[in-house]
Each structure stands twice: as structure tokens, then as C-alpha cells.
């Protein structure tokens, strides 16, 4: 009997805790104001006071960034087609507020308090699906009836067969084709009414239409509310932070960014700091970045402690420089202490040198004696020639006898 009582008490305690935790979570989320946007997005961009909009956020995401286009994918949920971003801050500006484009500053985000799977206008044309970010202050009814035909560059188009790809950003249609597609497009006016929040969303193409044109079964993903800023997609479930946001704090104090940059000092997207681009939710990239951050300090320490071991050296090659240093050092010392012994001469070399010297001296003596011999030889050779000439003259001068 006592055992059954204990089991009953334990069961009641579990039920009570399970009911209390959601109430605490709802209480925490009910106190959320615009301050959550100002604080959570500040590390990834700049808050500025923009004319007609007030405080807007400009992300440091690079010159090629475009909302609902860069680093993300479409998944099908109960609310329709939902954008899942790989940016760490993607839980906020793709599900709250609106985006607008400034020709100098690029894309700017204007915060709002309504959550949605996405805030875009959908169209269908020939073999393509397309979407365009909804501008601030534009309601769903106006957005569905608005003519976007003159705004070609801010559309994103993809073929039917590539619509459900996780790497959809590699399959977008070139912008040169946008004008032709936009003029032949039809607005998709599918909506979803969220009665729990009294909000209507544009849900995009119907599930049946996508399955029909692609020939593939559309995967359904459930959405679960997260109790802290962020999002995580795994096992056909999306956990995302989606509280009901109020404009002001609990005590009705007006929310404001802790740091507001001067709009006049803001640079173009290509000139701004884009170091935050690497802060994404891709698990492979995140794990790779963590490993690099862990190994970087060790590498720096190794470089400071053992600079000579940066390169792998063969043990025999490693010992060779030491032997060469040991050989070179005594030679330098010998050159300084014994300059006369720089060259060693063997006995055979000494004798050979003496013979060469004697030979040279004899050659010099011959050169001094030979000129006298030449004069005598010339005289000896000239004497017979002179005698022959005299004999000839005597013969010619001798009188002839008749």
C-alpha cells in the first residue's frame, strides 16, 4: 500500500513539473521586447537610425548577400514553406520584420513583432518558382496585389526540380532571365491563418502542386518552439525561437540599441567588415572552425618554443649541419692563429718544385750564351762563301792564252 502511495506521489510530481516548465517558458517569452533584436543582432551588423524607418539593422554579410536567397533552404511545415537560414542570427530577420534595399548601404532590416515562416511574395512561371522579400509597411493583401514587374534584380528564381534542394543557392536562375520570367509569372495567393496568434501568412505553392511538378514527395517538417535565441534543423524537426515580441519593455520603457552607428559613416557592403560571415549553423563548418581555433594556439606555442622544428628534417640531414659547424669552427680558428700553415706541401711536391726551379735557371743561362754562338756560326758560314767568290773572280781575271 505504501509503495502504491509513493508511486502516485511521484507521478503527480512529474505531471506538475511538466506543466510548470511550459508555463515558465511562456512567462519568459511573454516578456520579450524589441531589445532581444537589438542585443542579439549587434555582433553581426550595425544598428543605424534610418529615415522614415527608425532603428534598422544592416548585416555584415558581404556584398552578395540577399535575404531569403543566401545560405539557406526552403522546408515545408504546417505554416507552409518556411525559410531555414544557416546564419546564426537567421532565427530573427527572416521570420520577423521586413527587408528593404538601399542603393548605397545594401539590404536593411526593419524589425516587427509578428513571427512568420517567411515574409515574401510568391510567383510561378513556366518551369520556375520565384519569391521576393516583402517591403516594410506592406500588408499581405497589398503584397499579393502589388506589381513587382519593374523590380527584376531582387527576385530569386529556381526551376521546379531544384526547389527542395538543401544547396538551393547553387541553382538560382541567372538575373538576365528575370525580366522574361517576371512578365510571364502568376502570383501564388496561398495563405495560412495562425489562429493562435491571429496572423495570416503567405504559405507559397501548395504541397500538391510541388509534388506534381517535381515528381517527388514533399517532406513535412514539424516546428518546435525553442526557449532561447537560435534554430536547429534535424530529423524532420525544426527547433526555433519564436516568441511573441512586444515593442517596449515590461515597464513600458522604449527599447533601443545599446550602440547606434552614424549612418553617414557607414560604408558600402563591399567595404564593410565581413568577418561575421563565418558564423553559421552548418555543423561541418562549425566543427571545422572549432578545431582550427583549438589548434591555432598550440601551433603558436610550438613556433615560439621550437622555431627550428617547423620543418620535418631527416635524422641524417639533421646531424649533418652540426658536423659541418664543428668542422668549420676549428678551420676559422686555425686561419687566425696559424696563417703560414694554410697549405700543406708533401716532400714529393718539394722535390718537383726544386727540379722546376733548376730547369728554369738552366734555360736562363742558355739564353745568355746562345747569342755569342750564333755570331761565330754566322762568321764561319760567311767565310767559305767569301772564298768561293774570290776564286770566281780570279778565274775571270786570269788572261786567256791563244
Q: Quick check: 131 and 151 in contact, CB under 8 A? A: no
Angle (nearest 5°) at CA 365 between 363 and 369: 115
Residue 352 lies in a domain: no
Angle (nearest 5°) at CA 267 between 264 and 270: 165
Q: Quick check: 140 and 187 in contact, CB under 8 A? A: no
How far apart are the C-alpha atoms of 66 and 56, rounded to whole Å? 16
- 55 and 85 assigned to the same domain: yes
- 14 and 48 assigned to the same domain: no
Residue 349 lies in a domain: no
- 66 and 90 assigned to the same domain: yes
pTM for this model (two decimals): 0.63
Residue 335 lies in a domain: no
How far apart are the C-alpha atoms of 133 and 125, rounded to whole Å? 18
Exposure letters 370-398 (e unless 16+ CB within 10 A, then b): eeeeeeeeeeeeeeeeeeeeeeeeeeeee
Helix, strand or coil, per DSSP, at residue 70:
coil
- 19 and 36 assigned to the same domain: no
Chain centroid offset of residue 261 CA: 27
Q: Evaluate the CA torsion angle 91, 94, 100, 105 in order and state its sign.
A: positive
- 22 and 79 assigned to the same domain: no
Last-in-domain residue among 252, 269, 294: 294
Half-sphere exposure of 56 (CA within 13 A, CB side): 21
pLDDT string in tens for the chain (402-residue length): 556 666 666 656 554 544 443 433 343 455 799 999 999 999 999 999 999 999 999 999 999 999 999 999 999 999 999 999 999 999 999 999 999 999 999 999 999 999 999 999 999 998 999 999 999 988 777 766 666 667 788 999 999 999 999 999 999 999 999 999 998 999 999 999 999 989 999 999 999 999 999 999 999 999 999 999 999 999 899 999 999 998 877 677 789 999 999 999 999 998 886 554 444 444 434 444 444 554 444 554 555 444 444 444 444 444 444 444 444 444 444 444 444 444 445 555 666 777 777 776 677 666 655 544 444 444 444 445 555 455 555 554 555 543
- 79 and 219 assigned to the same domain: yes
How many domains, the chain? 2
- 114 and 137 assigned to the same domain: yes
How far apart are the C-alpha atoms of 32 and 248, rounded to whole Å? 9
Residue 177 lies in a domain: yes
- 13 and 139 assigned to the same domain: no
Edge-first strand order for the sheet with 186-188 is: 156-159, 128-133, 120-125, 186-188
- 53 and 98 assigned to the same domain: yes
Domain, as residue range, for 6: 1-30
Residue 95 lies in a domain: yes
Q: Quick check: 219 and 76 in contact, CB under 8 A? A: yes
- 21 and 62 assigned to the same domain: no
Amino acid at each position: 500500500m505504501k509503495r502504491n502511495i509513493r508511486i502516485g506521489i511521484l507521478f503527480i510530481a512529474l505531471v506538475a513539473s511538466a506543466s510548470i516548465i511550459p508555463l515558465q517558458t511562456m512567462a519568459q517569452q511573454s516578456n520579450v521586447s524589441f531589445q532581444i533584436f537589438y542585443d542579439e543582432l549587434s555582433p553581426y551588423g550595425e544598428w543605424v537610425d534610418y529615415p522614415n524607418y527608425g532603428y534598422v539593422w544592416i548585416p555584415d554579410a558581404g556584398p552578395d548577400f540577399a535575404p531569403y536567397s543566401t545560405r539557406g533552404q526552403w522546408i515545408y511545415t504546417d505554416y507552409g514553406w518556411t525559410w531555414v537560414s544557416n546564419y546564426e542570427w537567421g532565427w530573427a530577420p527572416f521570420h520577423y520584420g521586413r527587408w528593404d534595399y538601399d542603393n548605397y548601404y545594401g539590404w536593411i532590416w526593419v524589425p516587427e513583432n509578428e513571427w512568420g515562416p517567411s515574409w515574401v511574395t510568391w510567383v510561378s512561371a513556366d518551369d520556375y518558382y520565384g519569391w521576393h522579400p516583402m517591403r516594410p509597411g506592406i500588408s499581405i493583401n497589398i503584397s499579393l496585389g502589388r506589381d513587382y514587374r519593374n523590380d527584376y534584380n531582387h527576385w530569386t528564381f529556381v526551376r521546379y526540380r531544384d526547389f527542395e534542394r538543401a544547396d538551393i543557392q547553387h541553382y538560382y536562375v541567372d538575373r538576365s532571365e528575370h525580366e522574361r520570367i517576371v512578365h510571364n509569372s502568376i502570383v501564388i495567393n496561398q495563405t495560412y491563418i495562425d489562429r493562435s496568434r491571429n496572423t495570416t501568412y503567405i504559405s507559397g505553392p501548395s504541397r500538391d502542386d510541388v509534388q506534381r511538378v517535381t515528381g517527388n514527395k514533399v517532406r513535412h517538417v514539424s516546428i518546435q518552439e525553442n526557449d532561447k535565441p537560435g534554430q536547429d534543423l534535424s530529423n524532420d524537426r525544426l527547433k526555433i525561437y519564436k516568441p511573441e515580441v512586444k515593442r517596449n519593455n515590461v515597464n513600458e520603457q522604449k527599447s533601443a540599441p545599446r550602440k547606434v552607428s552614424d549612418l553617414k559613416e557607414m560604408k558600402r557592403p563591399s567595404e564593410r567588415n565581413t568577418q561575421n560571415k563565418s558564423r553559421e549553423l552548418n555543423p561541418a563548418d562549425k566543427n571545422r572552425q572549432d578545431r582550427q581555433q583549438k589548434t591555432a594556439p598550440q601551433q603558436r606555442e610550438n613556433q615560439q618554443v621550437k622555431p627550428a622544428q617547423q620543418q620535418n628534417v631527416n635524422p641524417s640531414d639533421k646531424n649533418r649541419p652540426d658536423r659541418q659547424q664543428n668542422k668549420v669552427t676549428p678551420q676559422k680558428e686555425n686561419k687566425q692563429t696559424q696563417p703560414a700553415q694554410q697549405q700543406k706541401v708533401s716532400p714529393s711536391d718539394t722535390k718537383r718544385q726544386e727540379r722546376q726551379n733548376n730547369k728554369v735557371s738552366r734555360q736562363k743561362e742558355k739564353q745568355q750564351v746562345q747569342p755569342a754562338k750564333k755570331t761565330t756560326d754566322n762568321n764561319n758560314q760567311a767565310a767559305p762563301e767569301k772564298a768561293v767568290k774570290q776564286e770566281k773572280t780570279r778565274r775571270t781575271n786570269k788572261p786567256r792564252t791563244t
